[in-house]
Amino acid sequence: MDLRLLRTFQAVAELENITQAAERLNFTQPTVTAQIRQLEEHFGVRLFERLGKRLYITEAGRFLACQSANLLVLYEKLEGQMQDFTERPEEVRLGISSPLMNYHLSSVVRHFRREKANLSLQVDLCLSGAEVENGLLNNRFDVGLLHEKPVSSLLSPFFWRKEAMIWVGCLDMVSLCQGKPLAEWPYLSFRPGTVMREKSKGAMQEQEPDSLAEYSDSEGVKRAVLDGLGVAFLPERLVQAEVENGFLAILTDAPAGQLELWAAVHRDKEETPGRKELFAALGIETKK
């Protein structure tokens, strides 16, 4: 039902005069009369009776006046509450498959804070690319950043960037490994089935040494390398600061590699200004 009909009815019920109600509402008298008649037809009861020049509200009219007054108060409250949502920053829910992505997100968050106060970013670190894909499929995330191209045909993939991968270790460990066969390296690896594990195997032409320990996340591997437990094949961006500060060194005669990073969205999800701004800040081309 059009709530304007109830507002018109409230004015007539209060003033008991259609002409005065029309003046208050800035309507014509026939418009007010037509709206009252429309309400009466809707409910199937008489709301007013006219005796001579006087207008009298019926019992049904008095009941409607009481209930509609409460309804209009609730509606006005609801309008105010819904207005709060329009004034909130748009939240972009981002799922990432590796801590590596965080090294690229600081500039995005800074951009949102300085230039796009009407946008906010919620970042969830997932255990795998599969978890990110599931989050996109069940609408947990608006955007996913993965270290491999998504598998699901329900997702639209967008190539983001390539990351160089290098062998690193603490200074003593690198000195120990340089010039020795791969099989003799004190090797720290990722769990089987992970993209990082496949990348390290590919860099060594499938001749990987026995691993001292296997980790599920790159930050865990980096921490072990910093503690001098072994060497590892990691994205260069992940260890750049530690290399520059002399905490880690690169095995210069070891095979390097590359890691592809991808963005993905559900193909049926409508594009929003926030998502568009996030892709622009990350430098991701969405036009195909």
Domain boundaries, given as residue ranges, for the chain: 3-87, 90-161+261-282, 163-257
Q: What percent of the chain has pLDDT over 70?
A: 94
Q: What angle do CA 278, 280, 99 make, to 5 degrees?
A: 50
- Band of the pLDDT at 36, cuts 50, 70, 90? very high
Residue 184 pLDDT: 79
Answer for the pair 129, 99: CB distance below 8 angstroms, yes or no. Answer: no
pLDDT above 90: residue 211: no
Residue 208 pLDDT: 64
- Band of the pLDDT at 209, cuts 50, 70, 90? low
Residue 39 pLDDT: 92
Residue 139 pLDDT: 94
Burial class (CB in 10 A: 0-12, 13-18, 19+), 64: buried
Q: Can you tell me whether residue 184 is helix, strand or coil?
A: helix
* Cα Rg of the chain (Å, integer): 33
- Beta bridge partners, 162, equal 260
pLDDT above 70: residue 126: yes
Calculate mean pLDDT across residues 264-284. Answer: 89
First-last CA distance in the chain: 45
Residue 42 pLDDT: 92
Neighbours of 264 (CB within 10 A): 25
Angle, helix 102-115 to helix 273-282, in steps of 10 degrees: 120
Residue 207 pLDDT: 64
Answer for the pair 168, 225: CB distance below 8 angstroms, yes or no. Answer: yes
Calculate mean pLDDT across residues 82-104. Answer: 82
Calculate mean pLDDT across residues 13-22. Answer: 91
Token digits of residue 101: 């992505």
Q: What percent of the chain has pLDDT over 90?
A: 45
Provide the residue type at 245 as one letter.
N
Mean predicted lDDT score pLDDT of the chain: 87
Residue 257 pLDDT: 85
pLDDT above 90: residue 8: yes
pLDDT above 90: residue 82: no
Residue 288 pLDDT: 54
Token digits of residue 256: 């390097």
Cα gap 246→261, rounded to integer Å: 27
Beta-sheet pairing, 257-266 with 155-169: antiparallel
Cα gap 147→162, rounded to integer Å: 9
Q: Which residue has the higher pLDDT, 288 or 169?
A: 169
Residue 51 pLDDT: 86
CA 79 to chain centre: 26
- Domain 163-257 in the same topology as domain 90-161+261-282: yes
Residue 93 pLDDT: 92
DSSP per-residue codes, 135-159: HHHTTS-SEEEESS----TTEEEEE
Task: Name the least confident of 46-60, 74-88, 226-240, 266-280.
Answer: 74-88
Residue 205 pLDDT: 62
Answer for the pair 196, 214: CB distance below 8 angstroms, yes or no. Answer: no
Q: Which of 133, 147, 170 is nearest to 257 (CA)?
A: 147
Token digits of residue 48: 């007013």
pLDDT above 70: residue 87: no
State the CATH class of domain 163-257: alpha beta
Would you state the torsion angle of the CA atoms of residues 31, 32, 35, 37, taken in this order, to the nearest 10 degrees? -110
Residue 158 pLDDT: 95
Answer for the pair 100, 237: CB distance below 8 angstroms, yes or no. Answer: yes
Q: Which of 237, 15, 264 is nearest to 133 (CA)?
A: 264
pTM of the model: 0.69
User: In the CATH hierarchy, which fold is given to the domain comprising 90-161+261-282?
Assistant: D-Maltodextrin-Binding Protein; domain 2 (3.40.190)
| Element of type H or E holding 255 | none
Residue 45 pLDDT: 94
Cα gap 210→203, rounded to integer Å: 15
pLDDT tens string 132-182: 999 999 999 999 999 889 999 999 999 999 999 998 999 888 888 878 877
- The CATH number corresponding to 3-87 among 1.10.1060.10, 1.10.340.30, 3.30.565.10, 1.10.10.10 equals 1.10.10.10
